[in-house]
Homo-oligomer: A and B are copies of this chain.
């Protein structure tokens, strides 16, 4: 974990900042999370199979922020430098990509799966139930023994994350079988404003969280909105 100054934009004073990487950080989900973590004072590396594409994405994100806070790197370099690696790939590619990256993962690395297996049939979102029960469990079956997987941000729309002027104003439901890894992710998210992280239990809770996202997408369509997300009241 690297030492970092208070962030000049948001004023957050993250005394100890986590080095956050993104496996496939050039898509909408990676973009939103990279921006939010950079604003929260984390050290951010956007990874891509193509170093050039990663650098271009980082330059674009930095231009949005107005400061150089985000680096772009080829995935193996990103993996070497990150304490927490967000898997921000399309859900169907994520398990294989993680499996492919196994040899580049640092021992003890924390992986964060944000994917939701969803298909559209007749314009309606449906849960594409993986044989393992959830995409999180599907990915977990493909990571090295010393890596730990946490599910997070599954229920928060990528484009809301990417609209950095929109307060998140919701809860993040975080699941995983390693309490330590889960707490590290929750701690890394603590500096993101207007976001509360809740421990949603073991990794298998992703079966619920992934379905909740499908419901949110259906609600968006029905109510002609784009940002349906959840807050847990009474907790």
Which residues in A have some Cβ–Cβ distance to B below 8 Å? 127, 157, 160, 169-170, 173, 198-201, 205, 207-209, 211-212, 214-216, 218-220, 222-223, 225-235
Contacts of A220 in B (CB 8 A): 235
Contacts of A233 in B (CB 8 A): 169-170, 227-231
Complex contact B235–A225 (CB within 8 A) = yes
- Known pairs A201-B218, A216-B232, A231-B232 / 9 extra A-B pairs, C-beta < 8 Å: A169-B234, A198-B223, A200-B219, A201-B215, A201-B222, A205-B215, A208-B214, A228-B234, A230-B231
Closest Cβ of chain B to A191, distance in Å, is 20
Closest Cβ of chain B to A126, distance in Å, is 10
Complex contact A205–B218 (CB within 8 A) = yes
Complex contact A228–B219 (CB within 8 A) = no
Q: List 20 A-B pairs, Cβ < 8 Å.
A: A127-B208, A157-B234, A160-B234, A169-B233, A169-B234, A170-B233, A199-B222, A200-B218, A201-B222, A205-B215, A208-B208, A208-B211, A219-B232, A223-B235, A227-B233, A228-B232, A228-B235, A229-B232, A229-B234, A231-B231
